[in-house]
Every structure is written in structure tokens, then in C-alpha cells.
Amino acid sequence: MSVYKKLQEARVKLHSTQLNKSGENKFAKFKYFELGDFIPQVTEIFNKVGLCGVVSFTQDTAYLTVHETEGDGYITFTTPLVYASVEKTQPIQNLGSTHTYIRRYLWLMAMEIVENDVVDSVEPKAPVKAEAPKVTPKAEVKPEPRKEEFFDSSEPWQVSVDVSKDGWPVAVKEGIAVLIKLAKKPEDVNSIYRINMQLLEQLKVKDVAVFDEIFATFKITKEALKGTE
């Protein structure tokens, strides 16, 4: 008799035996087989038909190999190894739980023991109404002032800024930088400095580092434009 024939005979004998489910899932309200509910019967039947089951584990896989006790035939059942994770327990206890659960599932598979379909037995939840996504209004972003807003249209080469606002020295620096690029000759540079002299004096008191940077730009630009006169 082949190992497959012996296993099938063992299944028939087991299924004709009255098995009682001692495990109970009170949350989902169903009962299930624990190892103690069928392993004694399986062991007795295997002994009669000439089979022996051996469970083994690797790092990620569990095996149940059903061997012939007199012969070389065997059948192997496998399942991925998923570790139990029970709160407030020691790692060794989680390992023990893992082995118990996996052994149970392997034997259920090998002996074709029918369990409750846990997914179908759970009462479906009421569909969740989709809520419209909440839209958070974006903060108003004021546009950066255009370069020409730094200048007074009534007076060429004049920078116009509000010295009562924070950061006005930087505004002066940006305005002067634009005017410097527009200068075509040394006299233009002189005009920029002369027309904005009062503002530059205030800048010198407020932020001497920015003033020195602007003054250096005046000198460099004037020297570079000397040949254009």
C-alpha cells in the first residue's frame, strides 16, 4: 500500500470519528479544533495504518512530513512561518504559541479537517460613509514687490522705500543693484549716488555692512564704465 493510500485511509478513519471542538473564539463567536481534540485519535490511527508524522521548522517555513513506518514513502506539507506576537509575554512564550498554532494548521491541512471559515463567519461591518475631504484654506501669500516698485517714477535713478518697515536696508540694496545695471557711464553712477544720498546716509547708520557693500559696487561699476565716456 502506498503512502498516499495509507494517508487517505487514515483520513477516512479520522472523519468517521466523533471529534469535539474545545476551542472557542468568543469575539467572533465560533468554536475551533485544538491539538488535543484530534492528535490522540490521529496518533492511534497512524499507528494502525503504518504512518508517523514529524513536524519541523526553519527560519521562515514549517513542515509536517508524514512517513511510512515500514518503507521509504513520505508526504510533506508546508506553510509559511508567522510568529505570534502576544502582548506582555516573554519571547519564549511567543515562540511556544507560534509552534502550537503552526502545528495545528499543518495537521488540519494533512488530515483534511474542516474548520469554520473565519472570514465568512465574521459579521460584516456596516459600510463607512465616505466623507468629503476637509479643505484647509491656504494663507494669503502677498506677491513679492516688482523691482520697479523700488523706484520713484518722478525722479530717474531714485530708490523709493519705506524705512519704517523691517528689512528696508535689503530693499535699498536690491534697488541700487538694479539701477547700477542700467548705468551706461560713470556720470550715471554719480547720479545714482547723489540722488539717493540721503537714503544712503540713513542706511549707513542702520546697517553699515550693507552700506559698505553698496559703496563698493559704486566704485567697481564707475571704474568699469570709465572707458565709455
The predicted-structure confidence for 124-181, as pLDDT tens digits, reads as follows 555 556 565 565 665 555 554 444 445 444 567 888 888 888 888 888 898 888 888 8
Where are the domain boundaries for CATH 3.30.390 in the chain?
3-121
Rounding to the nearest 10 degrees, give the CA dihedral for residues 149, 151, 155, 156: -120
Give the pTM. Answer: 0.49
CATH fold of 3-121 reads Enolase-like; domain 1 (3.30.390)
pLDDT 10s per residue in the chain (229 long)? 899 999 999 999 999 999 898 888 777 677 888 889 999 999 999 999 999 999 999 988 999 999 999 989 999 999 998 887 776 778 888 888 888 889 999 999 999 998 765 544 455 555 556 565 565 665 555 554 444 445 444 567 888 888 888 888 888 898 888 888 888 888 888 888 888 888 888 888 888 888 888 888 888 888 888 766 5
